[in-house]
A and B are shown apart, each in its own frame.
Chain A
Amino acid sequence: MKLKTLLLGAAAAAVAAGSAIAEESITVVSWGGAYTKSQVEAYHKPWMANTGNKIISEDYNGGLAEVKAQVEAGNVTWDIVDVELSDAIRGCDEGLFEEIDHDSLPAGADGTPAKEDFIGLALHDCAVANIVWSTIFAYDSSVMPEGPTTIGDFFDLAKFPGKRGLRKSPKANLEMALSADGVPADKIYEVLSTPEGVDRAFAMLDKIKSEVVWWEAGAQPPQLLADGEVVLTTAYNGRIFNAIAGEDKPFVIVWDAQVFDVDLWAIPKGAPNKDLALDFLKFSTATEQLAAQAAWISYGPARLSSNALVASYHSKPDLDMKPHMPTAPANFKTAIANGFEFWADNQDELNERFNTWLAAN
């Protein structure tokens, strides 16, 4: 009998929870942590205030698996999702995302048509970029006052002994390895396309393999640095910046050979609230919203017209955000553009190679 009462209670609770969500609500899926926080502040809250609709925010860890499973099962629960470029391309080719009409996007605040206002990689058949982010490496200046300055230092165990954090994925690691081996930024993918080039990158990684701590989620590297588990780590630049600006950690970002990429909004095919999702997409990629996001995390806006509006960190009026963006000229000198086409083609094989390499002791 008790069980029955409990069950009824639980069912009633479920109904109550269901009805608490207004009919007009969309599920927005992003990467969690400080990044989702910046989107909530810059996009979600104003959109909810403007339209009276609700947003259910969910976290995921990238990849197309969930989208593909939902679309192929014909049971889509996500309305809009924040994806990496190579996944946007692959998902679009496989018919997992709705196509987006670029002409319907609002013009920039300065009147520039959307097609010219967005930066190079930002507009895709099925996706529209919101930010430019980058993989960098960082260290703790209280541990190493005279820290590394080049990507070569990251791979130099003699000069900078100690453990290093790296993302458990071949992406960005192979590029940085080749760059450390002296390959210029514009030749990276040319070299990586050859078997010898891949060998060369892995040989470079071999040098530090014994000292690597692998991370998977963006929130981990700042934690690893703070705990003294590693002396150097690659990371997403925004996460390190937030640890510096928000928690006053003495971290230093090294921009040499940063690998930059864009994150895009895409709408899964058959999304339950497609029209609302599209409205949210247009709203959040407008000039003001992109600029507002930059007050919360140091990711560059995908619109040129937003740059002028980028101001200071939300809680520190005298902390100008511009020099902390991946696209700031001083940071951008040796930047590597993520080869989305290369990764769309080769990630299966390189993942396999990378996993084999990891498994071999």
Chain B
Amino acid sequence: MSELPPYATTGQRAWYYSFRVLCGLIFLFLIAPILIILPLSFNSQPYFSFTNEMLAFKPEGYSTRWYWDILKNGMAAPEATEGWFSDMWANAQWVRAIKNSFLIGIPATLLATGLGTLAAVGLSRSEMPFKKLIMSILISPMIIPLVIIGASMFFFFSNDFNVVNWFIDGAQPPSSRWQLSYTYAGLILAHAALGTPFVVITVTATLSSFDQSLVRAAQSMGAGPIRTFFQVQMPLILPGVISGALFAFITSFDEVVVMLQMATAEQRTIPRQMFSGIREQISPTILAVATIMVFISILLLTTVELLRRRSERMRGMSPQ
């Protein structure tokens, strides 16, 4: 299939080319929607569609107003120049959403990566007991419908976690209650849980090609388990760990269902803000945000691809 032999018959040729065309169409299906938002986000009209001016490539059909709107939306007085920046930083809805996305996504990623990597190292040991059962529990956040996860966590996080209160009868004043619902901590925990399966899967996959005799070699030379882990194992599985971390981050960065149920309006992240935008006030601002998000995706994808190739090269070097 990969190339057409010179002796191919007409029928084979026809099939060869029509198959290529078919595949081309499927690739178009995959990629066209993502590309189409780029020009549309520069629409000067408040529509999701191409205007006649745009199709005629007239400059007045295009504008960057929706990108400005990202900065201005939600501000008390966008037209005022004084204190513009601090007002934007404090009040603009999209700016706040961007802040929230990182404020929740980064701690969640760190937590998921730390716990997930440790677990993957444990799971890759052949003497690990109940491997299958534990693996299926650890992967479950990826499998269980998000609506169920969000609802369950919401109710659970609304409990009072202040142990002292448990021994006092009667209702406690809100100030003495420790709750996770509607807090950043709760959202971080939730997103960390959603991200761990990706870390576990990616790191486990890297470890599966890791030569365990290296560990034995290190230990036989007198290195303790911690030193072995950080100086022998870690450098070799690092690409997998970083890939896993990026997967965990994108999971949090893209999550909206749990946010819908567990976050206040002030805690909205970018996708949550987009969700409201699509449902309530369709404007090309969403397309502008989407375009920026596509570039972030390209950045993350490139990083992961480079890491994957690096790790493949390293695997090639390690004695098999």
Check A-B contact in the complex, CB < 8 A.
yes
A59-B89 contact in complex given A77-B182, A217-B279, C-beta closer than 8 Å: no
1/0 contact trace for A2-22 toward B, CB 8 Å?
A: 010011001101101100110
Complex interface: chain A residues within 8 A of B103 (CB) = 10-11, 13-14
Is A143 part of the binding interface, using a Cβ–Cβ cutoff of 8 Å? no
Instruction: Give B152 Cβ to nearest chain A Cβ, in Å.
Output: 14
Is B90 part of the binding interface, using a Cβ–Cβ cutoff of 8 Å? yes
Is B99 part of the binding interface, using a Cβ–Cβ cutoff of 8 Å? yes
Instruction: Give B158 Cβ to nearest chain A Cβ, in Å.
Output: 4
**Among candidates A6, A17, A20, residue contacting B106 with C-beta atoms closer than 8 Å:** A6
Q: Which B-chain residue is minimally distant from A8 (CB atoms)?
A: B106
Are the C-beta atoms of B89 and A3 separated by less than 8 Å?
no
Complex interface: chain B residues within 8 A of A27 (CB) = 266
Complex interface: chain A residues within 8 A of B76 (CB) = 40
Are the C-beta atoms of A16 and B89 separated by less than 8 Å?
yes
Are the C-beta atoms of B265 and A58 separated by less than 8 Å?
yes
Are the C-beta atoms of A223 and B106 separated by less than 8 Å?
no
Is B247 part of the binding interface, using a Cβ–Cβ cutoff of 8 Å? no
Complex interface: chain B residues within 8 A of A69 (CB) = 154, 158, 181
Is A270 part of the binding interface, using a Cβ–Cβ cutoff of 8 Å? yes
Instruction: Give B258 Cβ to nearest chain A Cβ, in Å.
Output: 14
- Residue tally, chain B, CB below 8 Å to A: 30
Instruction: Give A283 Cβ to nearest chain B Cβ, in Å.
Output: 18
Is A63 part of the binding interface, using a Cβ–Cβ cutoff of 8 Å? no
Complex interface: chain A residues within 8 A of B102 (CB) = 6, 10
Interface majority SS (helix, strand, loop, mixed), chain B: helix
A17-B158 contact in complex given A7-B110, A270-B174, C-beta closer than 8 Å: no
**Bound Cα distance A35, B47 (Å):** 21
Complex interface: chain B residues within 8 A of A70 (CB) = 182
Are the C-beta atoms of B99 and A14 separated by less than 8 Å?
yes
Q: Which B-chain residue is minimally distant from A9 (CB atoms)?
A: B102
Instruction: Give A86 Cβ to nearest chain B Cβ, in Å.
Output: 22
Is B280 part of the binding interface, using a Cβ–Cβ cutoff of 8 Å? yes
Are the C-beta atoms of B265 and A29 separated by less than 8 Å?
yes
Is A33 part of the binding interface, using a Cβ–Cβ cutoff of 8 Å? yes
Are the C-beta atoms of A74 and B280 separated by less than 8 Å?
no
Is A60 part of the binding interface, using a Cβ–Cβ cutoff of 8 Å? yes
Are the C-beta atoms of A216 and B279 separated by less than 8 Å?
yes
Is B264 part of the binding interface, using a Cβ–Cβ cutoff of 8 Å? yes
Interface residues of B in 212-264 (CB under 8 A from A): 264
Interface centre among B103, B179, B280 (most CB of A within 10 A): B280
Instruction: Give A248 Cβ to nearest chain B Cβ, in Å.
Output: 14
Q: Which B-chain residue is minimally distant from A18 (CB atoms)?
A: B90
Are the C-beta atoms of A219 and B182 separated by less than 8 Å?
no
Are the C-beta atoms of A73 and B158 separated by less than 8 Å?
yes
Are the C-beta atoms of B96 and A17 separated by less than 8 Å?
yes
Is A32 part of the binding interface, using a Cβ–Cβ cutoff of 8 Å? yes
**Among candidates A13, A21, A74, residue contacting B99 with C-beta atoms closer than 8 Å:** A13
Is B18 part of the binding interface, using a Cβ–Cβ cutoff of 8 Å? no
Is A75 part of the binding interface, using a Cβ–Cβ cutoff of 8 Å? yes
Interface residues of B in 170-185 (CB under 8 A from A): 174, 177, 179, 181-183
**Bound Cα distance A76, B86 (Å):** 27
Instruction: Give A121 Cβ to nearest chain B Cβ, in Å.
Output: 27
Complex interface: chain B residues within 8 A of A56 (CB) = 266
**Among candidates A3, A75, A219, residue contacting B179 with C-beta atoms closer than 8 Å:** A75
**Bound Cα distance A10, B105 (Å):** 10
Q: Which A-chain residue is minimally distant from B99 (CB atoms)?
A: A13
Interface residues of B in 265-317 (CB under 8 A from A): 265-266, 276, 279-282
Instruction: Give A235 Cβ to nearest chain B Cβ, in Å.
Output: 14
Are the C-beta atoms of B174 and A219 separated by less than 8 Å?
no
Q: A10-B103, A73-B182 are in contact. List 17 more A-B contacts (CB 8 A).
A: A7-B107, A10-B102, A13-B103, A17-B96, A20-B86, A40-B76, A59-B280, A60-B265, A69-B154, A74-B179, A75-B182, A77-B182, A219-B280, A220-B280, A223-B282, A227-B47, A270-B174
Instruction: Identify the B interface with A (CB < 8 A).
Output: 47, 76, 86, 89-90, 96, 99, 102-103, 106-107, 109-110, 154, 158, 160, 174, 177, 179, 181-183, 264-266, 276, 279-282
**Interchain Cβ contacts under 8 Å between A and B, 20 examples:** A7-B106, A16-B89, A17-B89, A17-B96, A17-B99, A21-B90, A32-B280, A33-B280, A40-B76, A56-B266, A69-B154, A69-B181, A73-B181, A73-B182, A74-B160, A74-B177, A74-B179, A75-B177, A216-B279, A223-B282
Closest 5 CB pairs of A and B: A73-B158, A58-B265, A217-B280, A20-B90, A74-B174
